[in-house]
């Protein structure tokens, strides 16, 4: 599908949100303070993913303020799931670049300018992300840095480098910038992974579009000049949440590996996913048996390995559910 050029802008800054009325003012205030943006024609688009709070009222109050800097638009997306909110943002965007921020991301004052400059310097980059630092309400558990990437905290140093999509080494959807034509031309309108839903915690919706973009020949980059701060409330560091997150991150692994796989590769991926993670589970248990009872970081890793091992079975169950829905 060709990129829509009518009334196009340089950048659309898209914020998917769900019940974000208390979080949105903080990020919108920071967007009003962005520096070095006079050279950029940009807009802000809020995608409300079925909020039940007063999100729409909060946005309405900010729209007049933003009219002096750039336009602030509001859209309701009834299809639940982060993946659908992002797809709606892409459809509504007028920018050649789409910069995604979650409603709990706090961008540095030069984040937008750094994202825009990188696009000019790296024309083969289809998507890029930067440093995402944690802003914690309470102190993280010991050795948290081993699992912090699962909470979209990414600090990979001060040198720009390519990600490795073949190894599922990719940036999160939060604080991600994509070229609209790279997404429009390559990302399916029906995602395999929709993102978190009530009662469902399977992850991977961040990575799915990037795998399609990379398969089309675009590069995926890390740009250290872009800094954001991810607000982590206390409940996201509690045991129950972390273990659900770990299992959800594991359950998407098989489906992600199938996205760009050839048919003959799929049985090999199936065997490697099950046996490879079984080996990791056994090794992890032997090495950390006694510590698993008390160390949340080690428990997280074990739960991720278990979820990854079970991911082919989860994928098969989803396939059966799709067939059942079509029949009925």
- 169, 270: one domain: no
Q: CA distances (Å), 183 to each of 93, 250, 320, in order?
A: 12, 25, 29
257 lies in which domain range? 242-327
Look at residue 280 and tell me if it is in a domain: yes
Q: Is residue 3 part of a domain?
A: no
pLDDT tier, 7 (very low <50, low <70, confident <90, very high otherwise) = low
Which of the four pLDDT bands, split at 50, 70 and 90, describes residue 2? very low
| 222 plus 248 within the same structural domain | no
Whether residues 112 and 212 share a domain: the answer is yes
Q: Which of 187, 208, 237 is the last residue of a domain?
A: 237
CATH of the domain at 191: 3.90.550.10
Share of the chain above pLDDT 90, in %: 86
pLDDT bin (cut points 50, 70, 90) of residue 20 is: very high
Calculate the CA 5 to chain-centre distance: 26
pLDDT band, very low/low/confident/very high, at 147 (cuts 50, 70, 90): very high
Under DSSP, is residue 328 helix (H, G, I), strand (E, B) or coil? coil
- Whole-model pTM: value is 0.92
From 183, 205, 237, the end of a domain falls on: 237
**Would you say residue 201 has pLDDT above 80?**
no
Pairing, β 219-232 against β 125-136: parallel
> What is the secondary structure of 107-149 as a DSSP string?
E-TTHHHHHHHHHHH-TTEEEEEEEEEEEESSPPPTTGGGTGG
Residue 68 lies in a domain: yes
| Mean pLDDT (whole number) for 239-248 | 95
Residues 112 and 229 in one domain: yes
In a domain, 2, yes or no: no
pLDDT (tens digit, 9 = 90+) per residue, 212-231? 999 999 999 999 999 999 99
- Whether residue 198 sits in one domain with residue 105: yes
- Distance between CA 144 and CA 139 in Å, rounded? 10
Q: Does 129 share its domain with 170?
A: yes
- Rounded Cα distance between 137 and 123, Å, is 38
Q: Are residues 17 and 123 in the same domain?
A: yes
**Domain match, 229 and 216 both:** yes
Domain end among 187, 219, 237: 237
> Which pLDDT score, from 0 to 100, does residue 196 have?
60
Four-residue CA torsion sign, 144, 209, 214, 319? positive
Task: Say how far apart CA 305 and CA 322 lie, in whole Å.
Answer: 26
Judgement on whether residues 117 and 19 belong to the same structural domain of the protein: yes
d(CA 132, CA 152) in angstroms, rounded, equals 7
Q: Check whether residue 88 and residue 177 sit in a common domain.
A: yes
Within a domain: 74? yes
pLDDT value at residue 327: 76
Counted domains in the chain: 2
79 and 223 share a domain? yes
Please check whether residue 290 lies inside any domain of the structure. yes
How far is the C-alpha of 173 from the C-alpha of 130, rounded, in Å? 11
Is residue 53 domain-shared with residue 180, that is, in the same domain?
yes
Q: Is the dihedral of CA 160, 161, 165, 170 positive or negative?
A: negative
For residue 83 the two structure tokens come to: 């993946």
């Amino acid at each position: 599908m060709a990129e829509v050029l009518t009334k196009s802008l340089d950048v659309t800054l898209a914020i998917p949100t769900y019940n974000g009325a208390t979080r949105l003012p903080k990020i919108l205030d920071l967007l009003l303070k962005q520096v070095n943006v006079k050279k950029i024609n940009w807009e802000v688009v809020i995608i409300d993913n079925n909020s039940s709070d007063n999100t729409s009222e909060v946005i309405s109050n900010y729209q007049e303020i933003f009219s002096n800097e750039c336009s602030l638009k509001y859209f309701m997306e009834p299809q639940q799931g982060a993946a659908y909110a992002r797809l709606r943002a892409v459809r509504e965007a007028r920018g050649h670049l789409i910069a995604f921020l979650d409603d709990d991301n706090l961008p540095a004052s030069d984040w937008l300018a750094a994202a825009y400059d990188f696009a000019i310097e790296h024309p083969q980059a289809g998507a890029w992300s930067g440093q995402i630092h944690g802003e914690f309400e309470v102190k993280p558990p010991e050795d948290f840095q081993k699992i912090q990437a699962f909470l979209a905290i990414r600090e990979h140093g001060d040198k720009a480098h390519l990600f490795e999509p073949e190894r599922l080494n990719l940036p999160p959807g939060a604080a991600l910038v994509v070229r609209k034509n790279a997404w429009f031309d390559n990302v399916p309108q029906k995602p395999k992974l929709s993102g978190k839903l009530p009662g469902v915690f399977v992850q991977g919706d961040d990575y799915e579009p990037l795998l399609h973009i990379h398969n089309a020949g675009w590069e995926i980059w890390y740009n250290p000049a872009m800094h954001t701060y991810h607000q982590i409330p206390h409940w996201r560091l509690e045991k129950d949440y972390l273990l659900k997150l770990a299992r959800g991150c594991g359950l998407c692994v098989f489906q992600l590996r199938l996205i760009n796989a050839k048919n003959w590769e799929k049985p090999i991926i199936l065997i490697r996913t099950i046996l490879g993670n079984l080996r990791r589970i056994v090794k992890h248990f032997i090495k950390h048996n006694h510590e698993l009872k008390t160390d949340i970081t080690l428990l997280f890793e074990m739960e991720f390995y278990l979820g990854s091992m079970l991911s082919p079975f989860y994928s098969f169950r989803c396939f059966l559910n799709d067939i059942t829905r079509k029949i009925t």
